Structure 1
Amino acid sequence: MTLSNENLLNIYRHLHQFPELGLEEFKTHDYLLTTIKQLPQQYLTIKEVTQLPTALLVKVVGKTHDRLIGYRTDIDALPVQEQTGLSFSSKIKGQMHACGHDIHMTVALGVLSYFASNQPATDLLFIFQPSEENHSGGMQLYQSGALAGDWLPDEIYALHDNPQLPAGAIGCLNGTLFAGTCEIHADFNGKSGHAAYPHNANDMVVAASAFVMQIQTIVSRNVDPIEGGVVTLGHLTAGDTGNVIAGHAHVDGTIRALTQTNNQRMQQRVRAIAEGVALTYGCEVSLKLHQGGYLPVENNSAITADFMGYMRAADGVNFIETKPAMTGEDFGYLISKIPGTMFWLGVDSPYSLHSEKMAPNTDAIAAGVSAITGYLEHRFTTIAN
């Protein structure tokens, strides 16, 4: 049984109503498993992951076993209170599929259902991966060993929905599609005191402010302007009231770069500036830089050329060559271990990813299933030749 467009729309609406945060996707896992078990089972092998219990792997046995092609979808949601007004809005307070992983899962199920009824020419592996939004679920899955041996794909693919592209359009880029990211967490510790006696205190508002201002020079003076990068400090807290000098300040931010080399260079500059502020202001600075598995999504040149060539020529596919984006994705870790391609699926929404009003155009689902199924059939032929 291949899932119909009506089936897929109902699946999407169910997933949208019951979002779950990273590593907590137990009901999502169970719903996916139930749906998959309703498909023809002749070619399917289902594997649970003990170390990552909300993950799910489904292998489709091909006519030959010369190659294993992987297709990954993420399954987690965001801590966002939905405000779309949809009749099937999230029923979970403070949680929403604001990044469109419900679309991702639905498309993956559509493609899987086709190959469950139409044996592929070679083996396929569908990866339902938890915790893309946090905790580096892709890295955790790979490091768990669940993809080792006969379960390690020779190449891998994944999509991300894009509200800025027409519904159903396929977008891609040969090179780095998404940036690598790194979290910044900095604590400045000095000495609090009365506002009237600054000489008896060590003001961490001043120290943290110096850190914030000096950070602005990293991209402008340390990164090749052709390559670009981002350092954003989006959260700063200090003190409790206006007439008390703050003895502590906390700053959170993010680094984003299209190459790992630049990301590491920017991390080094953040660390050097933090150490300089500590010396200049006579305070203690505790700096944590956390990258985890959020490496740049660097599409494999040969595989991506084949993917883009197919999508350009395929009947009924609206292909758009896109530019790099500074958004992050933990598929970057998987693609650093397994050659492959990530691409966009247009969902035509006036609201951005992560917005509480982001409502994808569901026409994208059928178009995405058709384009990906067609490409995989093409890829089997390419591999065979």
Structure 2
Amino acid sequence: MPALKEADLIQIRRHLHQIPELALQETQTHAYLKAVIAQFDQTNLTVRGIDSLPTALLVRVAGSDPKRTIGYRADIDALPVTEATGLAFASKHENVMHACGHDIHMTVALGVLSYFASHQPKDNLIFFFQPAEESENGGKLAYEAGAFEGQWRPDEFYGLHDTPDLPAGAIGCRMGTLFAGTTEVNVDLIGKSGHAAYPQNANDMVVVAAQFINQIQTIISRSIDPIQSGVITFGKLDAGTIRNVIAGKARIEGTVRGLTQTMIETIDERIKDVAAGIARSYNCKVDVELNQGGYLPVENDPKLTANLIQFMQHADKVNFIETEPAMTGEDFGYLLSKIHGTMFWLGVQDDSQLHAATFTPREEAIEPGIDAITSFLNYRMQQA
């Protein structure tokens, strides 16, 4: 079949929007993607999966005169969000929604793939439909499973993320870090419970938790260069059972964000230092668990990113906008730590933000996004 047309793309996007699935559970999505790809011209295509990651899908397009292999990644999972858009094609899966726009990501990738299936590229292309971006770091899992070895290893990797903050169809990018890296922080404080009237016989973890949180907040203001960027947020605190019993245990859960891996590691070490000091000061036990997984900062390769930006700035019909770094996380950062590449934004213009139950990306962004990416890839293939 020829490259997908706008009506086809919208139909695909709306179908995908109705079948959102959580990380590592994307069975319907995987089956639908395979069915769509099976309709393309198969002459130069090779499709394969990953045994240890059964919802992942890889498609190789053989080039006519390859000098390199170019990778393109699209994430396929959804979020545990109850949709409130009121759309006729809203999610059919209870309490699950494509609230981050991965249905747009997949549709754009299918559009690009359909073009190169019917217009053989000069270089080899690898399309990676990745499960588990929102959690479980599917990019890291795929890499560690050996998905990108031999003829399946890209020399360079590209991917997009949609954003409601740019006009529909606009391309956004920047040199350096596009997305922050993240670390999950879990802190268990263990003291001694007791009667509210006899605090001297207990070790109150509510008080200790309060002190811990206050001291942690000084890390950003007093341990980090103010020209740099970092965030520590504790979003959950559990302690106690009733008002007149001193809590002997407390648990705090939060997240660290940093624009470089060095920044994240610095913050992580300072959290450990504060925990050790709190434990000694209050004669209690403080256990800190830090889990970054595959959510490294998305640090764009300087040479490849400059090339992409230069193309987008001068390309006909591309509305290019230079963007600021975002403190949101993205596991494409792990792949970029292993393979040089670039991530960029596709504007989808909406009043609601990513992850909101009302997030409604504009579908008129899909075709311009596909056109910009296919044009760039063709341009890249002509370069030495």
Q: Normalising by structure 2, report the TM-score.
A: 0.99
Looking at structure 2, the residues matched to 211 and 62 of structure 1 have their Cα atoms a distance apart, in angstroms, of 57
SS at match of 1:377: helix
Taking the TM superposition and a 5 Å limit, the aligned residue runs for 1:171-320 are 171-320=172-321
Per the alignment, residue 327 of structure 1 pairs with 328
SS in 2 for 1:216: helix
Q: Give the Cα separation in 1 of the matches to 2:17 and 2:241.
A: 40
- SS at 1:146 equivalent: coil
User: Which residue of the partner structure matches residue 344 of structure 1?
Assistant: 345
**Pairs within 5 Å for 1:35-46:** 35-46=36-47
Determine the C-alpha separation between the residues in 2 that align with 1:83 and 1:156.
Answer: 34
Structure 1 SS opposite 2:4? coil
Instruction: Supply the distance in 2 between the matched residues of 1:181 and 1:87 (Cα, whole angstroms).
Output: 35
After superposing on structure 2, the runs of 4+ consecutive aligned residues of structure 1 that deviate more than 6 Å are: none
Calculate the aligned-residue CA RMSD, in Å: 0.7
**Letter paired with 2:278:** V
Deviations 1:272-310 (A, max 9, x none): 111111111111111100001111111011111110011
Q: What is the alpha-carbon distance in structure 2 between the residues aligned to residue 98 and residue 286 of structure 1? A: 34
Q: Could you say what secondary structure the match of 1:178 adopts?
A: strand
Which amino acid in 2 is paired with 1:342? M
Q: TM-score, normalised by structure 1?
A: 0.99
Residues of 2 paired with 1:89 and 1:260: CA distance? 38
Judge which range, 278-287 or 10-19, deviates more: 278-287
The residue number in structure 1 matching 2:150 is: 149
Letter in 2 for 1:309: Q
Matches within 5 A, 1:52-201: 52-201=53-202
> Aligned partners of 1:10 and 1:244: how far apart in 2?
58
Q: 1:78-129: CA deviations, max 9, x gaps?
A: 1111111111111111101111111000000000000000000110000001
Partners of 2:53 and 2:93 in 1: how far apart? 23
Give the aligned partner of residue 18 of structure 1: 19
One-letter code aligned to 1:329 = E
User: What is the one-letter code of the residue matched to 2:215?
Assistant: Q
Count of residues paired in the alignment:
383
Read off the aligned partner of 1:220 and give its amino acid letter.
S
Q: Distance in 2 between matches of 1:121 and 1:318?
A: 26
- Alpha-carbon separation, structure 2, partners of 1:113 and 1:55: 19
**1:219, distance to aligned residue in structure 2 (A):** 0.6
Q: Cα deviation per residue 1:296-330 (whole Å; 9 max; x = unaligned)?
A: 11101111111001100111110000011111110
What do the CA deviations read for 1:55-80 (whole angstroms, capped 9, x no partner)? Answer: 00000011023210000000000111
Distance 2:186 2:97 in 1: 26
Q: Percent identity?
A: 58
Instruction: State how far apart, in whole Å, the 1-side matches of 2:153 and 2:219 are.
Output: 39
Looking at structure 2, the residues matched to 116 and 88 of structure 1 have their Cα atoms a distance apart, in angstroms, of: 28
How much has 1:191 moved relative to structure 2?
A: 1.0
Matched, 1:378 2:350: no
Question: 1:3 deviation in Å?
Answer: 0.8
Three-state SS of the structure 1 residue aligned to 2:186 is strand
Distance in structure 1 (CA, Å) of the matches to 2:249 and 2:85: 39
- What CA distance in whole angstroms lies between the structure 2 residues aligned with 1:105 and 1:143? 23
Listed as ranges, the gaps of 5+ residues in structure 1 are none
2:368 is aligned to 367
Amino acid at match of 1:25: E
Letter in 1 for 2:26: E
CA distance in 1, matches of 2:360, 2:242: 41
Q: Is there any run of 5+ residues in structure 2 with no aligned partner, and where? A: none
